[in-house]
Amino acid sequence: MMITTKGRNALKVMIDLARHEGEGFVSLADIAERQNESLKYLEASAAQLTQAGLVVSARGKSGGYKLARPATEYTAAEILLSGEGSLAPVSCLEAGSAPCENAANCASLPLFKELDEVIMGFLRSKRLSDLA
């Protein structure tokens, strides 16, 4: 499992919004400047975050993005999943994947299941408010 730019940028946007929680809508240009990141990449992340219901957007001069709920209510897991889709260490553990016909005989499957549980447990234990 490797976290891609999509997941990292989703986390960057959310951490920045959490740091500016209560200030109203924050422009992506401001986030891009503070995070030293491409505005184009952050636009794609913001669209995914909006679609996932994690942020609220507004157009216009005072527009931008803000958290849909308090920073204490978000986990790193849900933010990364919004960008990545899956964090499973092997494809047979991804949600919606076809059942592996060798699962009953797979000697490594218990290891990967446990790894997945450890990864997800760790990411669920980290709140956005802690990261901000």
- Please report, for the chain, the start and end positions of each structural domain, with discontinuous segments joined by +: 5-131
pLDDT digits (tens, 9 = 90+) for 62-91: 889 999 999 999 999 999 999 898 898 888
Q: Give CA–CA dist 121/75, Å, rounded.
A: 10
**CATH code matching the domain that covers 5-131, chosen among 2.40.50.140, 3.30.465.10, 3.40.50.10710, 1.10.10.10:** 1.10.10.10
Give residue 90's pLDDT: 87
3 state DSSP class of 64: strand
> pTM for the complete prediction?
0.89
Residue 102 has a pLDDT of 83
Q: In the predicted model, is pLDDT for residue 1 greater than 90? A: no
DSSP label at 26? B
Counting Cβ atoms within 10 Å, is residue 113 exposed (0-12), middle (13-18) or buried (19+)? middle
Q: Are 70 and 32 in contact (CB under 8 A)?
A: no
**Number of CB atoms found within 10 A of residue 74's CB:** 22
